[in-house]
Amino acid sequence: MTGSDAATAVPAQATRTPAAPEPVLHGLGVSVRPVDTLAKAQGTFPYAADLWAEGLLWASVLRSPYPHARIVRIDTSEATSMPGVRAVVTHEDVPGDAMHGRRVADRPVFAKDIVRHHGEPIAAVAADHPDTARLAAAAILVEYEVLEPVTDPEKAFAAEPLHPDGNLIRHIPLRFGDPDVIGDVIVEGLYRIGRQDPAPIGAEAGLAVPRPDGGVELYVASTDPHTDRDLAAACFGLEADRVKVVVTGVPGAMGDREDSGIQLPLGLLALKTGCPVKFVATREESFLGHSHRHPTLLRYRHHADAEGRLVKVEAQVLLDAGAYADHSSEALAAAVAFAAGPYVVPHVFVEGWAVRTNNPPSGHVRGEGALQVCAGYEGQMDKLAAKLGLDPAELRMRNVMATGDLLPTGQTVTCPAPVGELLKAVRDADLPPLPVDEEESQWLLPGGPEGAGEPGAVRRGVGYALGMVHMLGAEGTDEVSTATVRIHDGRATVICAAVETGQGFTTLARQIVQDVLGVEDVGVLAADTDQPPSGAAARGRHTWVSGGAVERAAKMVRTQLLQPLAAKFGMSVELLTIADGKITSYDGVLSTTVGEALEGKELWATAQCRPHPTDRLDDTGQGDAFVGLAFCAVRAVVDVDIELGSVRVVEMAVAQDVGRVLNPRQVAARIEAGVTQGVGLALMEDLRAPRGIIKRPNLTGYSLPTALDAPDVRIVKLVEERDVLAPFGAKAVSAVPVVVSPAAVAAAVRAATGRPVSRLPIRPQAAVVKPQS
Amino acid sequence: MSTNAQQTARNVTLPSSLEEAVAALAAAPSAVPVAGGTDLMAAVNSGLLRPAGLVGLGRISEIRGWQYADGHALLGAGLTHARMGRPDFAALIPALAAAARAAGPPQIRNAGTLGGNIATAAPTGDALPVLAALEASVILAGPGGNRELPVSHLLTGMDPLRPGELLAFVRVPLLHAPQTFLKATGRTGPGRALASVAVVLDPARRGVRCAVGAVAPVPLRPLEAERWVAGLIDWDGGRLLAPEACTAFGEYVAGACIPDPVPGPDGAEAVELPPAAVQLRRTVAALARRALGRALA
């Protein structure tokens, strides 16, 4: 990083003089800067909430105040007759399929006879002013017969069905090995994981514009435009080609972003009024509407031999799916398959259930399923280490999985699995220094600056956690992406429907094309549904399949470009290289520029990338369900005030299995973001919904980590063992640090306090050491 | 995005002096005075409050500073937390400065005011236990002139604000002795207090005054514990106190603020304190012990 060093060396007064230009970086493996960072920093980047259309109307959605109620009557007459109100839509105005859902169509666009969660949409209004819309929505009379909500997932089994599909969304009884084996040492534990909200900072918003042909265009910050398009078209009763989803600037996405509760009412209102309709969700609506992380109850029994080698793991996993199925089935598959963690266990028995309740809906928030069980099995490993008198890192080291081992699903781990190497890297990394006794260290006490922390009551703890996630969709999901690369006038354009959510896909696409075609200037077009589908932006999909498609298309263009030259000079294409816009032959005879070689022509190529197919887990939880796995080891160092129970995470040391670093800066940023999200879940993020009602759906009630809560994230090692299946050998990097960090923080608090810490987020009372009396 | 505020802002007056503000309130008794707006506008935006009008206090310069008045400081109600957190103010009333610095993220501290903290009277208001421990009084400007009353009378509702009255000043005694404010939150970043304790020493009257915030709707004063510990302190010497006495003070304060359940009238065994209350009591005990320890250090 000579550029930044040079910049810091310049004295402050001299900053006005133009600094030496930073060397322009391009290609794979270097820190190419995203193109949109300046616009985002300056506030000129257009997000969905910034959209405008001439003559637009404003939408407002009426949501259920109850978690479970029967709708006796809906009277929209007063709202309809209000001046300025242009349309009111309820379940009666849905021309197409009444039910929708990303995996299972079990969710109504608007509640019809029954509401199943607090905040479920009942009606929507379009008016010429946002306040009119809001007031009109409030004026819709809904008569409810309030029903007893089912909010305890354990009671959902025996409760009256909340939905025609029943309360059990999925049950996986995984059987692997011999059920009668018993270990020398047995530890048991019960673990609870709270409800994390993805809390995207940007407002959830959208604009629907009717088309003259009777179709509609939806301008939304979708992360999966084609699925959303199909879903919307089915509900609108239109052919898919008459609905177009255009992806606008996405202000952060930790999972599925805009819940379809925004897109569908918008489209219906636009179709009914014939006018553009805009909607911007308030923070309260965001918390009520979108999907959360599954609250989970885990029960574990680990058997080990006297040396600490795992013999058998028995587990029960209960996911609270909320009112609708959404991604719960897939989350459960991950939870069950990874219930024993990245360890070699000969006998594994897991009962997994995802059940329906009247709690806020759960869905795809990165690392779903894998995160919850990680907190459970790592808690068990700490317990086992304590019982055997072993160092927790040593116990883990004796059990780590490697390439060639079996998952409890019977699938062989064929990808690189450097789990032992990762653990060794974090274990051997230097510990952060202890705070010295001086004024400045006051800031570093638990409780923060101006807090009540007292050095005498602070204990430091070090904890380890290992974890894994699967990459790409599991269980037979068709993962395919299509990309087109075009080269003209010495510059290249990439057309691909992979959504840039901030994860860096556009930067990666530029890097790939720069590498293959040797041109500096690469543009990436915004995604919409006129392009072929690329799938959702999740689980490293776009690095893998979309990146792979871009690479193939670029290579096809390269062949088209070089073929005539190679033929002219009587050599094969392989003997020509392109770099910095110049084409040269191995012997230096040929030297021309890309622009000259094009001769004013335009070259196009389109390619697809589709990884090998996977199977659905069978009725004993067996099957090759995953395309690839990514691993991570985290060592957390925490300071705990053992009297007040306040926790400060001092440092998170991360070693991660990344396959190959395609962009060092982005990889570091993704890991830092993931660790911070994980620390948030470990210490504060829990959207409480007593009796199914979200009491404080705002950012005052729901704490997110601030700069003071965020730990130092130290990346001690990135293991670059290329995954031969993946394009470029690169693995997904975003999800796995989120999965492992909460378990690591819990382990460190355990080490500091000696308390069991079986609940996330860790509440202060769980980190207090009771006085001996 | 919320546009509720625009709707309510139809009737806004921006007086530039206290008299004008009082007159504006008298003219529109249903109008609500607004200073920093950190609590008020949040309530408006979430639809909990729809004031008929607003009287903005931001232009009244006389309540945005402080002055000395015979051994007291007369603090303007419009003093922001950010201003109170500065070193010059901290030299004057250290506990109030500490509470102001702990009152939230910088954006909130830049806007939120002392008067607003009192007017909102949230149980978790950080300035409130400090004012209670300092035995501060508030000066209310009203159509019939000013009146002064102890801040606790206002907070408990013993003597509430009358129509047309405006919180103008807070009178705080200058004690020239150590003061501490400690706050326990669930996190390292800014957060609401789970419990807070203010301890001020009054060497002239040989007194220790303590108030506990966030555990009850108003700050609580453990008067017996204060008297007991004041009697133990060697006021003429180095104000030394044995660590055991500090610990006992903490327990005394915590026991007074979170009392044991009273036995039933028929002499039945009293129910045990729920675990959350036991935990809160431990937190208060630790805070009070530390606060006193730091004040005497």
Would you list the domain boundaries of chain A? 2-46, 50-147+204-280, 296-474+616-767, 481-609
**How far does B145 lie from chain A, in Å, by closest CA?**
38
Burial of B70 (0-12, 13-18, 19+ CB in 10 A): exposed
The sign of the CA dihedral A323, A760, A223, A658 is: negative
A57, A489, A563 from A600: Cα distances, Å: 47, 7, 16
Q: How many helices (H) and strands (E) does chain A have?
A: 18, 29
Look at chain A and count its residues.
773
Question: Is residue B10 less than 8 Å (CB to CB) from chain A?
Answer: no
Mean pLDDT of A759-769: 90
Q: State pLDDT tens for residues A477-522.
A: 888 899 999 988 878 899 888 888 888 888 888 889 888 888 888 8
pLDDT of residue B8 exceeding 70, the answer is: no
**Tally of CB atoms within 10 A around A414:** 14
B64 — pLDDT class (breaks 50, 70, 90): very high
The reported pLDDT for the residue numbered A771 is: 67
DSSP A172: E
A429, A461, A741, B7, B194 from A652: Cα distances, Å: 11, 12, 8, 48, 27
Which residue of chain B has the CA closest to A704? B189
Residues of A with CB under 8 A from a CB of B: 49, 130-131, 203, 280, 282, 284, 446-452, 454, 457, 643-648, 683-684, 698, 700, 703, 705-709, 763-765, 768, 771
Please count the CA atoms within 13 angstroms of the CA of B205 that sit on its side-chain side.
12
In degrees, to the nearest 5, what angle opens at C-alpha A443 toward C-alphas A440 and A447?
Answer: 155
The reported pLDDT for the residue numbered A491 is: 86
Q: Is the ipTM of this complex over 0.90?
A: no
Contacting residues of A for B188, CB less than 8 Å apart: 446-448, 451, 646-648, 708-709
Question: Which residues, in sequence order, are CB contacts of B244 under 8 Å at separation 6+?
Answer: none
B8, B187, B289, B294: best mutation site toward chain A, by most A Cβ within 10 Å?
B187
Strand partners, A637: A462, A651
Contacting residues of A for B199, CB less than 8 Å apart: none
Give the separation between CA B80 and CA B61, rounded to whole angstroms: 12
Interchain pair A450, B4: CB under 8 A = no
Comparing CB atoms, the residue among B4, B182, B187 nearest residue A683 is B187
Backbone angles phi, psi at A262, to 5 degrees: -95, -45
Taking alpha carbons only, the member of A114, A62, A96, A73 closest to residue A261 is A62
Q: A296-474+616-767: what fold?
A: Aldehyde Oxidoreductase; domain 4 (3.30.365)
* Pair type for strands A277-280 and A205-210: antiparallel
Sheet holding B66-69, edge to edge: B66-69, B72-76, B166-173, B137-142, B145-150
The reported pLDDT for the residue numbered A1 is: 35
The single residue listed with the structure tokens 């660590």 is: B243
Taking alpha carbons only, the member of B140, B171, B165 closest to residue B55 is B165
Q: How many CB pairs under 8 A join A and B?
A: 92
User: Which CATH architecture is the domain A481-609 placed in?
Assistant: 2-Layer Sandwich (3.30)
The reported pLDDT for the residue numbered A333 is: 94
Decide if A50-147+204-280 and A296-474+616-767 have a common fold: no
The reported pLDDT for the residue numbered A21 is: 56
Contact A694, A360 (CB under 8 A): yes
Interchain pair B1, A280: CB under 8 A = yes
Give the separation between CA B17 and CA A55, rounded to whole angstroms: 44
Which residue of chain A has the CA closest to B103? A450
Please count the CA atoms within 13 angstroms of the CA of A696 that sit on its side-chain side.
11
Contacting residues of A for B1, CB less than 8 Å apart: 49, 130, 203, 280, 282
Percent of chain A with pLDDT over 70: 95
A387, A637, B192 from B199: Cα distances, Å: 45, 33, 19
Among B residues 198-237, those touching chain A with beta carbons less than 8 Å apart: none
The reported pLDDT for the residue numbered A255 is: 59
The reported pLDDT for the residue numbered A261 is: 74
Question: Is residue B189 less than 8 Å (CB to CB) from chain A?
Answer: yes
Three-state secondary structure string covering chain B? CCCHHHHHCCCEECCCCHHHHHHHHHHCCCCEEECCCCCHHHHHHCCCCCCCCEEECCCCHHHCCEEEECCEEEEECCCEHHHHCCHHHHHHCHHHHHHHHCCCCHHHHHHCEHHHHHHHCCCCCCHHHHHHHHCCEEEEEECCEEEEEEHHHHHHCCCCCCCCCEEEEEEEECCCCCEEEEEECCCCCCCCCCEEEEEEEEHHHCEEEEEEECCCCCCECCHHHHHHHHHHCCCCCCCCCCHHHHHHHHHHHHHHHCCCCCCCCCCCCCCCCCHHHHHHHHHHHHHHHHHHHHHHC
Contacting residues of B for A284, CB less than 8 Å apart: 46
Interchain pair B191, A703: CB under 8 A = yes
Give the separation between CA B70 and CA B74, rounded to whole angstroms: 10
Comparing CB atoms, the residue among B102, B286, B291 nearest residue A643 is B286
Among A198-212, A474-488, A648-662, name the most confident range.
A648-662
The sign of the CA dihedral B285, B290, B295, B297 is: positive
Interchain pair B184, A203: CB under 8 A = no
**How far does A127 lie from chain B, in Å, by closest CA?**
14
**Which bin fits A648, alpha (ψ -120 to 50), beta or left (φ > 0)?**
beta
Contact A509, A609 (CB under 8 A): no
Q: State pLDDT tens for residues B169-195.
A: 999 999 999 999 999 987 888 888 999
Interchain pair A452, B290: CB under 8 A = yes
Q: State pLDDT tens for residues A587-600.
A: 777 788 877 778 78
Give the separation between CA A704 and CA A702, rounded to whole angstroms: 7
**How far does A596 lie from chain B, in Å, by closest CA?**
52
Taking alpha carbons only, the member of A158, A180, A197, A186 closest to residue A677 is A197
Give the separation between CA B217 and CA B104, rounded to whole angstroms: 20
Which residue of chain B has the CA closest to A455? B290
A445 — pLDDT class (breaks 50, 70, 90): confident
Burial of A213 (0-12, 13-18, 19+ CB in 10 A): exposed
Q: Which domains does chain B have, with CATH numbers?
A: 4-56 (3.30.43), 61-173 (3.30.465.10), 179-296 (3.30.390.50)
**How far does B51 lie from chain A, in Å, by closest CA?**
16
Comparing CB atoms, the residue among B42, B182, B190 nearest residue A706 is B190
Comparing CB atoms, the residue among A203, A457, A684 nearest residue B186 is A684
Interchain pair A648, B7: CB under 8 A = no
Interchain pair A764, B283: CB under 8 A = yes
Q: Mean pLDDT for chain B?
A: 89
Which residue of chain A has the CA closest to B5? A131
> What is the amino acid identity at position A343?
Y
Mean pLDDT of A316-335: 93
pLDDT of residue A223 exceeding 50, the answer is: yes
* Pair type for strands A759-760 and A185-193: parallel
Interchain pair B283, A708: CB under 8 A = no
Mean pLDDT of B105-114: 93
Interchain pair A707, B189: CB under 8 A = yes
pLDDT of residue A112 exceeding 70, the answer is: yes
Give the separation between CA A300 and CA A378, rounded to whole angstroms: 11
Contact A211, A463 (CB under 8 A): no
Comparing CB atoms, the residue among B3, B182, B188 nearest residue A708 is B188
Give the separation between CA A557 and CA A551, rounded to whole angstroms: 10
Omega cis (within 30) before A212 = no
Give the separation between CA A687 and CA A726, rounded to whole angstroms: 37
Which residue of chain B has the CA closest to A447? B188
Interchain pair A707, B1: CB under 8 A = no
Asked which of A129-133, A562-566, B158-162 is least confident by mean pLDDT, the reply is: A562-566
Mean pLDDT of A356-361: 94
| Structure-block tokens of residue A89 | 């839509």
Q: State pLDDT tens for residues B110-152.
A: 999 999 999 999 999 999 999 999 999 999 999 888 999 999 9
Mean pLDDT of A630-650: 93
pLDDT of residue A464 exceeding 60, the answer is: yes
Q: Mean pLDDT for chain A?
A: 88
Q: Which CATH superfamily is domain A50-147+204-280 in?
A: Aldehyde oxidase/xanthine dehydrogenase, a/b hammerhead (3.90.1170.50)
Contacting residues of A for B7, CB less than 8 Å apart: 131
**Tally of CB atoms within 10 A around A704:** 16
Q: State pLDDT tens for residues B15-41.
A: 999 999 999 998 888 899 999 999 898
Mean pLDDT of B259-278: 79
Which residue of chain B has the CA closest to A679? B187
pLDDT of residue A194 exceeding 80, the answer is: yes
Give the separation between CA B179 and CA B291, rounded to whole angstroms: 8
Comparing CB atoms, the residue among B6, B189, B286 nearest residue A705 is B189
The single residue listed with the structure tokens 């509760």 is: A261
Give the separation between CA A466 and CA A718, rounded to whole angstroms: 14
Contacting residues of B for A701, CB less than 8 Å apart: none
pTM: 0.91
Mean pLDDT of A692-708: 88
> What is the amino acid identity at position A430?
D
B69 — pLDDT class (breaks 50, 70, 90): confident
The reported pLDDT for the residue numbered A219 is: 92
**How far does B3 lie from chain A, in Å, by closest CA?**
7
Asked which of A252-261, A319-328, A354-363, A465-474 is least confident by mean pLDDT, the reply is: A252-261
Asked which of A237-246, A312-321, A413-422, A583-592 is least confident by mean pLDDT, the reply is: A583-592
Question: Which residues, in sequence order, are CB contacts of A192 under 8 Å at separation 6+?
Answer: A295, A296, A297, A298, A758, A759, A760
Give the separation between CA A721 and CA A728, rounded to whole angstroms: 11
Q: State pLDDT tens for residues A561-585.
A: 888 888 887 788 888 888 777 888 8
Please count the CA atoms within 13 angstroms of the CA of A277 that sit on its side-chain side.
31
